[in-house]
Chain A
Amino acid sequence: MSNQPATEDNHDEQKSKKPADTAFKQQRLPAWQPIITADTALPVFLIIGLLFIPIGIVLVVTSERVLEYDLDYTDTNCISSTGGNVTCADVLRSNNFTGASCNCTKTITLEQSYTGEVYFYYGLINYYQNHRRYVKSRDDNQLLGKAPPVSADCQPFQTSANGTAYTPCGAIANSKFNDTLTLSFNGTSVPLTNIGIAWTTDKAVKFQNPANPTTYFTNASRPPNWQKTPWDLDTSNNNTNNGYQNEDFIVWMRTAAMPTFRKLYRKLNLTNAGTFQNGLPAGNYVLTVQYNYPVTSFSGRKQFIISTTSWMGGKNPFLGWAYIAVGIICMIAFVIFFALHKTWKISSSPEISPIVENLSEESDNVTLLSSSSSVLVDTQQSNNLSSDSIDISSDDKSFNDQTSVGYLPNTDSSNSTMVIVTSPSFTSDLLSEQNDSIDQLNSSSLSFLQTKQRRIDHRRNKSEPIKSASTEDLASSTILDLSSNNESSIGKKSSVKLTPNNSSPLTTSKQITLEKVSSQSSTTSRKKKPWYNVSIISYYFFIG
């Protein structure tokens, strides 16, 4: 292809498609790996506990300082002042809720003086201001002072019978709370203000009177339940608190979340000098109610509430107690985890771990179990090793639920038998292609092997000092022996039987190593899974 044009060659010289070596593309972004264990969680519990309990106490104290008085004036606390010992509720009902009004008075006693700002609320119970049909039934555009038509959302209080839109339209507006509550102390009426009870944004933005309110409101139909037109709601404040911008109306229009709610009715007017300069003094007050609002039909209740506030707001100790509770739970968790952590630490016997490390280093073998086997090798160099009978209990009972490290005294001081049954675990099948198959061998072949094994044992018992390889063989055969018991007695837990002979330092260290190993393995995993294996390593050493 010598006659190929030069471009062809260029075409062949393509850029290598080797991907770029960036941390993101190679998924090597540095990352923090949080590991939540008893260890790392302890400080978290402690910090939360130490932080939350004081906060809780502060909040509870704050809440306790708030004074609150409430009076349910739905029925018996509001007897019609026109006489006849009928409740105002009954008066309304007897008038079939057609706008009849009823007045009542009730004496209330404040046992403490309410200093500072005092707020007066009306509370309603079992009143579903959060009903979907109710919440929906308003027209925010209308409340901005915009001209009709009004939104169909206002149904069924959209337009009056003559076709003009209700101003304001909708169920919320129509059902505006219209009881009048006044309070007097020793004959002087308590100075109340209805300015500043609504959200400032509402008054400034959301509720706007139309350009020419007087004509606008007089020409429009007022909602059916209203006794006054919107423009007559409050004529006292130079019309700044009138029409849509009437704060009582605005407060009402913010629908409550729950069927039990309270709404700010009045504030104590502190600007007036005199008795109420510093709040409400303790004593008897007379509450006069102009009872217009019917609630009995739906078993609602009406409340009159006098309350001070803290920097947090009204009286509600819940948050404080919740802080304390969570703080205490964290402290309990801290204590429990600390205890667990301690015991866990002990079981992993940190003081002997250096030996393990030393041994591992010595044998140039990093694995824990094989470090113990490497000990074995070391031992063989210095000791005469001889085989021993295998002491493997196939009895289910020996497989305890817990790791058991037992020292069985042995009269024959020259023999020590050690069988470690490690817990079956995830890890046991790590890197174990052969292992998987071990415990699933045909039982017939296993029984065969068992007999074969016995023969091997027998032979070896007679033999001279055995080599490490044969120990391994023996061990592996033992695996087979035990794995035949698998189905019946999968020993999920570890069982270590150690029969020490003499107390040579080397032996002790070995015991400890193995102990460590077994405890490690038992703590690392106790989950029972079908693919778990039992791997048993048995060691025989004979120190002469």
Chain B
Amino acid sequence: MGQNSSITRYFNRVHTPIRTNQNETSMDNNERRIITVNSGPQATKFISNRISTSKYSILTFLPKFLFEQFRKYSNIFFLCIVIFQQIPGVSPTGRYTTAVPLTFILCCAAIKEIIEDVKRHFQDDEVNRRRVLVYRDGAWIYTIWSEVKVGDIVKLVDRDYFPADLVLVSSGEPNGICYIQTSNLDGETNLKVRQGLPQTAHVLSSVQLKELQGTIECELPNRNLYEFAGTLKINSVAFPIPLCADQILLRGSQLKNTVWIYGIVIYNGHDTKLMMNSSSVPLKRTNVEQVTNKQILFLLLILIILCLFSTIAGEFWNYKNKDAHWYIGLNIGEDRETWRHIGFTFLTFFILFNNLIPISLQITVDFVKFIQAYFINWDRDMYDPETDTPASARTSNLNEELGQVKYIFSDKTGTLTKNEMIFKQCSIAGIMYGSGNVAEFNSYELLKNLEQHTTRDEIREFVTLLATCHTVVPENKVHTELPTEVVYQASSPDEFALVTAMKQIGVVFFSRTPDSVTINFRGEEERYDILNVLEFSSDRKRMSVIVRTPRNEIKLYCKGADNVIMERLATNDERAQLTSEHLESFATEGLRTLCLGYRILTKQEYDEWLVEYRQASTAINNRNDLVAEIANKIEQNLILLGATGIEDKLQDQVPDSLIKLHKAGIKIWVLTGDKKETAINIGYSCKLLTDQMLNIILDEENLENTQRQLRQHCQRFGDSLCRENLASLVIDGLTLKYALDASCRSDFLKLAISCKTVICCRVSPKQKAEIVELVKQSTDAITLAIGDGANDVGMIQTAHVGVGIMGREGVQAACASDYTIGQFRFLTKLLFVHGVWSYRRLCKVILYSFYKNICLYVMELWFAFHNGFSGQILFERWTIGIYNVLFTAAPPMAIGLLDRCCNTETIMRFPAIYKMSQNRTDFNIKIFWTWCLNAVYHSIILYFMSYTMLKHDVAFSNGQVGDSLFLGNMIYTYVVFTVCLKAGLESDSWSLFTHIAIWGSIASWFIFFAIYSYVWPTFPVAPEMRGMAKYVFSTPYFWFGLLLIPITTLFADFVYNCIQRTFYKTLMQEVQEKEVAHQDPSDLVNSRQPPTTSRVAERLALLKSVFVRPKTPKTTGISDRPYHGFAFSQEENGVIPQDQLIRNYDTSIIKPSGL
């Protein structure tokens, strides 16, 4: 953003002239920033809240654009040619024949840049024009984001995004608490709690706000997301109050579950932490580009060799024939020194042959990619109606990489899953309720049993537990007793799902006071006093509350992971067995599970424990451990109630898409910050993991073990290491740290790439990027990273292609990505259709661009054999110059934009087609040079046939003879004809525009030729062309040649295509044929379909018995049973402990309106 800040400042000056009038104070603002609140203008000038992500402004456009353009080698190359052409007597093609096309091409590039940048300006404007309520001069006014100033007090309501970095003053919730979602910044989707200072939390109305006067002193803007230091000095309070990160609301995050908040703007615009963190997207180079660049260098080498050869030959000819060929006048007036002369000759040839490197390649490719990107944006199949987001290509230069992806690195939350939890099934006292097939929990049976079944007491306890043991806060919209009106606020989506489900079966949790919860149990109001809350932590894997029931019993309700609850049961009876089975079935369906247990405490028991607990919770050292230990004491001898199954809702069609991606030969790695269990669960539910697979789990605590494990697994794979196996690997974040160590790295990589699926859990954003980097570096494959949160930014930027999921969560990942889509499922179309098309098209465009240039310009070499290596051109200089920009510009465009190997439906149905482009069968060194040689072959046929045809010079019935250019123009016509037809031959589909491009290009040459032959002497160009068209068109040789020569030239290509199509068909071609014949290609595709899954299943079962050694899963690292993930996504070690959080609430009090 560094370069943008200058632009921003420029904008500031233009748009906020008032601010510039303010006096610059000589305050010491080098280390801190001082903001006055509510008391007059700011002492210091701050930048405005206007953001700009655009590349250029009107002033900076030209220099920046030129700088960018002339960083490209090809442009430098042609600039050199332009300069060489200015040396008098050197250029065989005049002075400006390269300069004009180059200028033209640069203009095209400029137009493209302008269009793209205008788009960015619009996007910025959209953000800048969002509206926000600001308290200014004692009144609330609406203003736009860009007008928000440092020191402003803003009011935001639920679901608003913060327009700048704010200090939280107060909120509509008790004690100045508010919830925010920071998924945009760090990818964590659970709600975070922020709390205003106690000294300001009472400010609940405009009147009070007006009295809030003072100054904020804080550190200068920095990019550190989690740290903040500052003080607030309120005039009414004597001493400054320290501010820390708990009071800071960052731009980019969103207010959730909170009615409203007041905040003071401290950093805005490009000073916000969000903007400070957004780095400019690194320039990614595509594989095709790299190969092309390498081949260009080769071609340059060939060019130089050609020039050297020609120079030597030319000089030799000169040396030998200088005096003999008196008519040329070489012996007269030759005053140059030998070396200078040789140098100039070399330059002559360099200019002559420079066009072997296609001048228009860059712009053609850029343009084609640009439009391809628009095709992506225009695709209705990738439009997400829910969020109203079409797919969007943010850069256009990676389109063809989409066709070659071999590894997908995916984030989990928000990408594969919706982060919406739904209560689906439960098992109470050994009876299972609900079905995995229906969308929501079906409560009928449960209610029936609650009435009259033998287990109805257990059911009662079960639902009561779910309604009481949680940290959810209810919010009664209108303060009524009507239970259906309750809206819950929860920092854990799982608890939210549970409580909501309870509400649906009529057990409504509707009121919370600091020491009690009130539930409406099917019409009866019951009040439970919360005695203690034993918090959830990832070590404990459980959460308990101790309540006093309305019947004055003391009960401990506990919910947690199955293994934790099961080992705490009083008895291990049949019911536990049944529940375990149910848990297993939940887990196989990919549900997140929780086990519930309870225990009745005697008064005495509880009192004894309470004493210990109080001691522990007031301990000075090691308090958390002590509390956990004491909590553990009471959480014993539980009675098992049952289990719940919560579905972490997947995004639409995720399993389908993943299967398709697998079929396309893509390996999928899920990199998630989630716990292992959750990740495995999701793996199962989106069919990334199946029981038929060989599932390897690596969870080691230290380097040695990791090393040993990795080695063992690698050995076990034997020969099939590094190939694709039906195996999966799950690795924990900590183990991953060791696995990425230099000593393990290669083993880990080998193991990982032997698996179809790799799931890495608990990985940090940095690790995500590291993994991607590792795969990128060590394999030759193209990687794609997909994610939606800021924690994915690293990997998105590291991977070859970064895809951001746009829509619900926010924009940070999208901003860093190359492509944004609304839903994960669109990835298949993006890859299979746009990727494959773009790749194939682009390859053709590049190959064709080289082909057409070599075909024409290598003729100068054949001609050099006939003109004594003097560097004479065969064609008119301007026709040479505009060959690329006019006569042969359209066919590659047509191929690049409209060529279709087969239609969307076919590709989408048969992902295996993707493997062709994935394996780079369309573009590699071999193919490149085959095309080049083909071009040379064509030029030989074209040149020598035309030459022989006109050898006797007499081409007219009136006995007149032609001349050099007469031959040249005929050859040129044949070349244009051949080259355009070749484009047609290489097209897989001819649309109307293809016809226009091909026939139009040919026609354009004829028209140009006809006109150009009449410009001299009216315009001082091309005297040698005068009358040429008339004579060329009037000789029968021309027309007979036009019929014969291009056909002869392309004959070999035609026969080759024919033989290849008939006998060495590629899959793509087979599918094409079927498609043309309107047959169902599934014949063909299914004919190779593997045996049904059941066979595979059996085989793998066999296989598994080979692999699994009689050891515990832990030591072998291979799981023999499905995992039961447990459902808890709770903020740990937050600002406010869970205990305190629920104690803060008193829903019986009306919330302030904040106005």
Contact = CB atoms under 8 A, between A and B. Distances in A.
B1099 A449 contact: yes
A438 interface: yes
Interface in A435-451: 435-438, 440-445, 448-449
Interface in A308-325: 309-316, 318-319, 322-323
Interface in A95-135: 97, 117, 119, 121, 127-135
A440 B724 contact: yes
8 contacts: A133-B870, A198-B960, A256-B964, A262-B953, A313-B954, A316-B952, A432-B1088, A432-B1090
Nearest to A440: B723
A445 B1107 contact: yes
A437 B325 contact: no
B1096 interface: yes
A321 B357 CA distance: 36
A426 B665 CA distance: 12
Contacts of A263: 953, 961
Nearest to A333: B1055
Interface in B987-1018: 987-994, 1016-1017
B727 to A, nearest CB: 8
Contact of A255 (B963, B1027, B1083): B963
B951 A476 contact: no
Given A55-B1040, A476-B1095, A256 B1027 contact: no
A48 interface: yes
Nearest to A20: B378
A33 B329 contact: no
B910 to A, nearest CB: 6
Contacts of B1085: 427, 430-431
B378 A19 contact: yes
A17 B1062 CA distance: 46
A469 interface: yes
Nearest to B334: A156
A443 B330 CA distance: 77
Interface string A504-525: 0000000000000100110111
A475 interface: yes
B725 A437 contact: yes
B1087 A367 contact: yes
B916 A27 contact: no
B990 A34 contact: yes
B567 interface: no
B954 A314 contact: yes
Given A41-B1054, A444-B718, A31 B1106 contact: no
Given A319-B1037, A433-B663, A206 B1016 contact: yes
B157 interface: yes
A438 to B, nearest CB: 7
B1051 A326 contact: yes
Given A135-B872, A322-B1048, A429-B915, A367 B389 contact: no
A205 B1026 contact: yes
A117 B324 CA distance: 37
B537 to A, nearest CB: 39
Interface in A55-86: 55, 59
A443 B725 CA distance: 12
Interface string B1032-1059: 0001110011011001100100110111
A201 B1031 CA distance: 9
A429 B663 CA distance: 8
Interface stretch (B45-53, B780-788, B1065-1073, B1110-1118): B1065-1073
Interface in A286-331: 294, 297-299, 307, 309-316, 318-319, 322-323, 326, 329-330
A480 interface: yes
Interface string B80-121: 000000001000100000000000000000000000000000
A1 interface: yes
Of listed B726, B985, B1072, residue having the most chain A CB within 10 A = B726
Size bracket of the B interface: 35 or more
A458 interface: no
A477 B1026 CA distance: 79
A475 B1096 CA distance: 11
Interface string B826-870: 000000000001000000000000000000000000010011101
Contacts of B62: none
Contact of B1089 (A196, A426, A431): A431
Contacts of A256: 953, 961, 963-964
A144 interface: yes
B131 A171 contact: no
Contacts of B724: 436-437, 440
A4 to B, nearest CB: 8
Contacts of B1024: 140
A313 B720 contact: no
Given A309-B958, A329-B1051, A432 B912 contact: yes
A223 B1041 CA distance: 40
Contacts of B872: 130-132, 135
A135 B968 CA distance: 14
A322 to B, nearest CB: 6
Interface string A15-56: 011111100011111111111111101001000100010010
B900 interface: yes
A451 B1063 CA distance: 40
A430 B868 contact: no
A279 B343 CA distance: 55
A37 B1063 CA distance: 9
Nearest to B963: A254
Contacts of B330: 133
B513 interface: no
Contact of B954 (A11, A309, A323): A309
B733 to A, nearest CB: 28
B1030 interface: yes
A311 B957 contact: yes
B991 A30 contact: yes
B951 A318 contact: yes
Nearest to B716: A442
Given A430-B1086, A442-B717, 15 more contacts: A117-B958, A121-B954, A135-B872, A198-B960, A201-B1026, A257-B874, A312-B1040, A314-B954, A319-B1040, A427-B1084, A433-B1090, A441-B1103, A477-B1099, A525-B1064, A526-B1064
Nearest to A202: B1027
Of listed A41, A135, A340, A445, residue having the most chain B CB within 10 A = A445
Given A132-B870, A267-B959, A298-B321, A157 B329 contact: yes
B131 A27 contact: no
Contact of B329 (A133, A310, A432): A133
A258 B866 contact: yes
Contacts of B823: none
Contacts of B1019: none
Contacts of A201: 1026-1027, 1030-1031
Nearest to A128: B868
Nearest to A40: B1058
Query: Can you list the 3 inter-chain pairs with the closest CB atoms, starting with the nearest?
Result: A201-B1027, A314-B954, A476-B1095
Nearest to B1092: A472
A366 interface: yes
A215 to B, nearest CB: 23
A329 to B, nearest CB: 7
B952 A1 contact: no
B324 A298 contact: yes
Given A199-B1027, A257-B963, A313-B956, A298 B325 contact: yes
Interface string A123-161: 000011111111101001100100000001001110000
Given A199-B1031, A319-B1037, A449 B378 contact: no
B1041 A261 contact: no
Nearest to B992: A29
B949 interface: yes
Interface stretch (B380-388, B477-485, B790-798, B1126-1134): B380-388
Interface string B372-406: 00010111100101001110000000000000000
